[in-house]
Amino acid sequence: MNVSDTEKIKEAESNILIAIGYLTRDDEFKERMRNEGGLQLLVRILHNSAIQLQQFQQQQGQRGIINQPTSQEEDVVQNAARAAWNCASNKINKAALRELGGLHALVALLAHPSPDVVAIVSGALWNCAVEDETRRVIVDLGSIPLLISLLSLPHNTISNSMNNNNNEQILESVTGILWNCSAISEVRVALRKLNGLNALLSLLDIAMGINQGMNSIQGIISEQQNQTIQNNILGCLRNCIVNDQNKIAMKELNGFNKLSPLLSESTQPDILEKVISIIWIGTIPLENRELPTDSPMIPPSVFLPPSLTTIVEKILGSLRNYSTLAPNKIRIVQHSGLELLTKLLSSSSDLTSTIIEYSAATVWNCARNEEVKDYARQIGTIDALLNLLKKNNSIIASQQSSSLKEKDGEITNTGLLPDSALEAILGAILSLTENKLYMRNNDGLSTIAQVLVITNPDSSRFVVENCLGALKNCSANQQNAIYLRELGILPHLAPLVTSQIENISREACLLLKNISLVEQNRPYLIKQNLLQPLLSLSLTSASQEIAKIANDVVRCLSTNAECRALIIQNTPSLIPKV
């Protein structure tokens, strides 16, 4: 058979495959391809083309070969791959292609010198990679190094590719395959070790440059494909950032700085969700929490519609992470972050408990800076926090009065804030209690006291600790100490004083110490049976600090005649000599 005859056969074969490619757009024909041996035929053609390609590569020992496949041979493999791509949209066909060895051939053909072929082959693989078992096979066939090399190849030729649509198709498919395959933990490691993370971030720079209208590359990739490529890259990076070493690598590659402009520029919810997920997870390590220079403190997307609350929660989670570093606290305030958080917490909309928790935790972190405390009071931050507590207390009171109880007698928690949110709110208030008069005059003391009374210290220890801490700080003011006693808080402190949780016992004793410093309060401590637990702690507490605090309270109470008689009767050695 001469060359001309071979070319005619290849041309006929290619035309048949073109027809099959059109027919396989129909779901019914996809099933016929599987049931009538069509998939086997496609795999055989792809397999033969892969063998031929490998032979060329072996002869030349490099990717850029001299004896490249003929145009007819390229047409055959391209059309066979397109038909396989169409067929792979059927779930059963994906499994069939895998079992027939089709994935082996497709992965091998990623190294084909023709961009036309690679564009179709990578598209077919992307269609297959959505299945867990299939993507596992794609990875095991050694595809990751090939895919990473394809990420960087178009960068070198993109300026000369104005009339070539294959580069963007390759980029779209390859980034899609990597996103799917990065669900496998070892691929996340491979992407770091094979410089894949850097390649993805470099490609993202190009895609973002197109967004910004950079003349050198504007128009090469369509807007729709650009959005898909960005989405694929970010999906892959989101999977990769779960790996602890990749978190470090992203910081070293300046990845977080590169991502931050998308927070304010992108209007696509799926893009925003991935960007903020990467930043949120990536800022778990303390060393990654330096705020990017151009990053908005709280992007406008915080105030997205309620249907996008997941994005808002992750933005606020990232901000909470950032706010643990001292320099970031000031930057957050300087960029109106505290005002926006206060506005959010004061919103009349129903906020999720996660939004409340992360917002309050950020305020808590920032309010530990002395410059922030008075400013937070001026802009209404304390009021916003107290109103959240009041609302929660009101729900509990309503449930109690309506007897909305479970069978075991516990109050239903529908609409109630979880302990994590309460802890953050109370922690923020604890950091803002310097203005003790303001706390009393604006129902702060009564609100926190009510939380303390209705909270079980055994199941909600940190809520109770923060309540006690806030009340302790405020009770350093004499009028506040009297007011707390008048609120009827003393009976509820007795069990807390002797709590097995050391922090609760210490904070309760310190609160009692402040209250007992006011002479008119002292008889009430006796009447509420607080003397005996204090005496016991002063003598038997395992904590020297708590024993000393309890002893100080007892000595203070001893100035009261009634109390002094009781102390002498029980422990005369505690009475100071006159």
Looking at per-residue confidence, does 507 or 260 come out higher?
507
Torsion-angle region of residue 195: left (phi > 0), alpha (psi -120 to 50) or beta? left
pLDDT of 160 > 70? The answer is no
Say what the pLDDT of residue 156 is: 41
Angle, vertex CA 11, rays to CA 5 and CA 15, nearest 5 = 145
Q: Is 284 exposed, middle or buried (0-12, 13-18, 19+ CB in 10 A)?
A: middle
Range 227-262 burial, b when 16+ CB lie within 10 A, else e: bbbbbbbbbbbbbbbbbeebbebbbebebbebbbbb
Say what the pLDDT of residue 573 is: 54
Say what the pLDDT of residue 213 is: 46
pLDDT band at residue 220 under the 50/70/90 scheme: low
Q: What is the average per-residue pLDDT within 200-216? A: 70
Cα(545)–Cα(94) distance, integer angstroms: 69
Looking at per-residue confidence, does 470 or 308 come out higher?
470
Q: Choose among 181, 259, 270, 275: nearest CA to 227.
A: 270
Strand partners, 405: 411
Cα(127)–Cα(134) distance, integer angstroms: 10
Say what the pLDDT of residue 506 is: 95
Q: What is the average per-residue pLDDT within 107-135? A: 92
Say what the pLDDT of residue 298 is: 58
Q: What is the average per-residue pLDDT within 153-180? A: 70
Q: 306 near 349, Cβ under 8 Å? A: yes
pLDDT digits (tens, 9 = 90+) for 486-502: 999 999 999 999 999 99
Domain 296-404+411-432 classified CATH 1.25.10.10? Answer: yes
Q: How many CB atoms lie within 10 A of CB 77?
A: 27
Torsion-angle region of residue 546: left (phi > 0), alpha (psi -120 to 50) or beta? alpha
Q: What is the average per-residue pLDDT within 278-296? A: 82
DSSP string spanning 427-467? HHHHHTTT-HHHHHHTTHHHHHHHHHHH--TTT-HHHHHHH
Lookup: tokens for 24 = 């396989």
Question: Can 1-61+68-141 and 165-290 be said to share one CATH topology?
Answer: yes
pLDDT digits (tens, 9 = 90+) for 323-372: 999 888 888 888 888 998 999 899 877 889 999 999 999 999 998 878 78
Say what the pLDDT of residue 158 is: 39
Q: 151 near 174, Cβ under 8 Å? A: yes
Say what the pLDDT of residue 110 is: 93
Say what the pLDDT of residue 61 is: 57
pLDDT of 449 > 90? The answer is yes
Percent of the chain with pLDDT over 70: 81
Between 1.25.10.10, 3.30.1440.10, 3.30.70.20, 3.40.190.10, what CATH number should domain 165-290 receive? 1.25.10.10
pLDDT of 409 > 60? The answer is no
How many residues appear in the chain? Answer: 578
Backbone angles phi, psi at 405, to 5 degrees: -125, 150
Cα(281)–Cα(251) distance, integer angstroms: 12
- Averaged confidence pLDDT in the chain: 83
Say what the pLDDT of residue 324 is: 92
Would you list the domain boundaries of the chain?
1-61+68-141, 165-290, 296-404+411-432
Looking at per-residue confidence, does 211 or 262 come out higher?
262
pTM of the model: 0.80
pLDDT band at residue 173 under the 50/70/90 scheme: very high
Cα(465)–Cα(424) distance, integer angstroms: 12
Lookup: tokens for 453 = 């009374």
Looking at per-residue confidence, does 480 or 572 come out higher?
480
Cα(534)–Cα(516) distance, integer angstroms: 12
Backbone angles phi, psi at 50, to 5 degrees: -65, -40
Least confident of 351-355, 398-402, 420-424: 398-402
Cα(353)–Cα(19) distance, integer angstroms: 57
Say what the pLDDT of residue 121 is: 94
Q: How many CB atoms lie within 10 A of CB 145?
A: 12
pLDDT of 321 > 80? The answer is yes
Cα(559)–Cα(64) distance, integer angstroms: 97
Among the ranges 57-66, 240-249, 526-535, which has the highest mean pLDDT value?
Answer: 240-249
Q: How many CB atoms lie within 10 A of CB 302?
A: 21
Cα(196)–Cα(189) distance, integer angstroms: 10
Least confident of 220-224, 247-251, 349-353, 443-447: 220-224
Sorted by sequence, the CB contacts under 8 Å of residue 3 that are 6+ apart come out as none
Looking at per-residue confidence, does 472 or 72 come out higher?
472
Say what the pLDDT of residue 128 is: 92
Q: What is the average per-residue pLDDT within 194-200? A: 95
Say what the pLDDT of residue 463 is: 95
Say what the pLDDT of residue 43 is: 85
Say what the pLDDT of residue 302 is: 54
Say what the pLDDT of residue 382 is: 92
CATH topology for the 1-61+68-141 domain = Leucine-rich Repeat Variant (1.25.10)
Least confident of 85-89, 219-223, 230-234: 219-223
Cα(181)–Cα(275) distance, integer angstroms: 19
Say what the pLDDT of residue 407 is: 46
Least confident of 318-327, 395-404, 517-526: 395-404
Q: What is the average per-residue pLDDT within 17-38? A: 73
pLDDT digits (tens, 9 = 90+) for 39-74: 888 888 888 888 888 887 777 655 544 456 666 678
Looking at per-residue confidence, does 541 or 400 come out higher?
541
Say what the pLDDT of residue 136 is: 94
Say what the pLDDT of residue 293 is: 64
Say what the pLDDT of residue 154 is: 47
Looking at per-residue confidence, does 422 or 15 come out higher?
422
pLDDT of 3 > 60? The answer is no
Q: Choose among 470, 496, 475: nearest CA to 486.
A: 475
Cα(556)–Cα(574) distance, integer angstroms: 11
Q: Choose among 310, 324, 332, 432: nearest CA to 376.
A: 432
pLDDT digits (tens, 9 = 90+) for 289-304: 887 665 555 555 555 5
| Residue 520 DSSP symbol | G
Sorted by sequence, the CB contacts under 8 Å of residue 153 that are 6+ apart come out as 170
Percent of the chain with pLDDT over 90: 44
Q: How many CB atoms lie within 10 A of CB 338?
A: 23
Looking at per-residue confidence, does 539 or 365 come out higher?
365
pLDDT of 221 > 80? The answer is no
